[in-house]
């Protein structure tokens, strides 16, 4: 009896689904669009209203440039301590992260205004730093030359400060870090795991 009732219920559900499919198939795409309400603004198949909302949402989600620069400072400080410990693979990692985070900073705000309202194009400032002093840092790391590293690192800090001054932020004075950032990464290349 229960099996009969189950088969009957299943048959009714299947029949209802088939009928519903026929009704939907008979409604034209135009009728379905009209039933859904007015169409959004579309250009080339793109919903412009939704696109504008997405762009506005993304603009709100982007961190401030100072947030990204905090990351630059963290990476650059760790670069110093990795080289101090002669952990050259880790120094390479932090140099690459420093570069990457500076580029991220520039993408967030490629042009700043100085106090007079003049545009300061950050990419134009960073490109020679990247091809110059940061290349010198890379070479020092590859050669495992601590002396060249120290010289190049100081030049990098001077170049960073020049950018800060060009952006009318001379109060942002980079320095050689005096203590390691609070990190869970151990810069000691001979560290054992777990400690």
State pLDDT tens for residues 43-80: 677 888 888 999 889 888 888 888 889 999 999 999 99
Which residue ranges make up each domain of the chain? 65-166
> Comparing C-alpha atoms, which of 117, 73, 69 is closest to residue 94?
73
Contacts of 103 (CB under 8 A, 6+ apart): 126
Question: Which of 168, 73, 157 minimizes the C-alpha distance to 113?
Answer: 168
pLDDT band (50, 70, 90) for residue 31: low
For 65-166, CATH number out of 1.20.120.290, 3.40.50.880, 1.10.260.40, 3.50.50.60 equals 1.20.120.290
Q: Is the pTM of this model over 0.75?
A: no
| Mean residue pLDDT across the chain | 82
At 146-170, the pLDDT tens digits run 999 999 999 999 999 999 999 999 9
**SS3 category, 47:** strand
The alpha carbon dihedral of 15, 21, 25, 31 has a sign of positive
């Amino acid at each position: 009896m229960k099996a009969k009732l189950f088969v009957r219920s299943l048959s009714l559900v299947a029949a209802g689904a088939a009928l519903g499919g026929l009704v939907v198939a008979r409604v034209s795409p135009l009728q379905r669009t009209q039933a859904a309400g007015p169409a959004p603004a579309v250009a080339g198949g793109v919903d412009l209203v939704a696109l504008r909302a997405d762009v506005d949402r993304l603009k709100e989600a982007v961190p401030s440039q100072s947030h990204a620069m905090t990351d630059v400072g963290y990476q650059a400080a760790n670069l110093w301590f990795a080289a101090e410990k002669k952990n050259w693979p880790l120094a390479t990692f932090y140099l690459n992260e420093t570069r990457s985070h500076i580029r991220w900073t520039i993408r967030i705000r490629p042009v700043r205004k100085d106090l007079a309202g003049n545009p300061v194009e950050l990419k134009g400032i960073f490109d020679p730093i990247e091809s110059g002093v940061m290349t010198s840092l890379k070479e020092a790391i590859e050669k495992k030359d601590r002396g060249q590293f120290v010289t190049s690192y100081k030049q990098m800090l001077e170049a960073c400060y020049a950018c800060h001054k060009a952006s009318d932020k001379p109060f942002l004075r980079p320095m050689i870090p005096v203590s390691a950032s609070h990190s869970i990464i151990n810069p000691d290349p001979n560290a054992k795991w777990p400690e």
